[in-house]
Amino acid sequence: MVRFKNRYITVEINSPMVPDSKPLTLISKSFHETVMNKIQQLYGDFGVAAVRTGFLTKYCNEHTRIAILRCRHGPHQFVTSSLPFITKIGKLDVRLRTLHVSATLKHSFKFIQKHQRAYLDKMWANLKTNEERKSLEAAVMDFTKTDVSINIEQIA
């Protein structure tokens, strides 16, 4: 029996159209299709066939604009090398930045926890009440959001 190794790619999604104070809304299906289309454009049918098995969006947080992609070990290099070339998801202009690549989901979440703590420290200075701070902390530190499906056209 053969064990399949996976790689978890932590990606930060930046958009100049949406201010940092507002949450970024994405449809994970369009994000998935955009990545696959870029791999098709760069690596052709071989790249798409290699990546398609096991490729999945595991986590997406609209407040911190972080997503985790799961891909099999080996073809993960196709994914990581194609992410910087993605400039649009749907009608939304974006810039993707790879933050971390790990072998386990646990290590990805440990990295995200440290990254989001730094984000919270930066954003708390802008909030006035403790209720706003607690609601932001609850939203940022929530690791259960796996699929955000709000329409992108609402932003544009």
Confidence of residue 52 (pLDDT cuts 50, 70, 90): very high
For residues 124-143, average pLDDT: 74
Query: Which of the given ranges, 17-26, 43-52, 141-150, has the highest pLDDT on average?
Result: 43-52
pLDDT score for 120: 77
pLDDT: which is higher, 46 or 123: 46
Q: What is the pTM of this model?
A: 0.78
Over residues 54-72, the pLDDT tens digits come to: 899 888 877 778 889 999 9
Structural domains of the chain in order of their starting residue, each with its CATH number: 6-154 (3.30.70.3250)
Over residues 74-122, the pLDDT tens digits come to: 999 999 999 999 999 888 899 999 999 999 999 999 998 888 888 777 7
Which structure tokens are listed for 147?
Answer: 């699929």
Helix or strand run (H / E) with residue 34: helix 28-52
| Three-class DSSP category at 18 | coil
Among 60, 61, 71, which Cα is nearest to 35's? 71
Confidence of residue 156 (pLDDT cuts 50, 70, 90): very low
- Residue 65 · residue 13 · CB < 8 Å: yes
First to last CA, the chain: 49
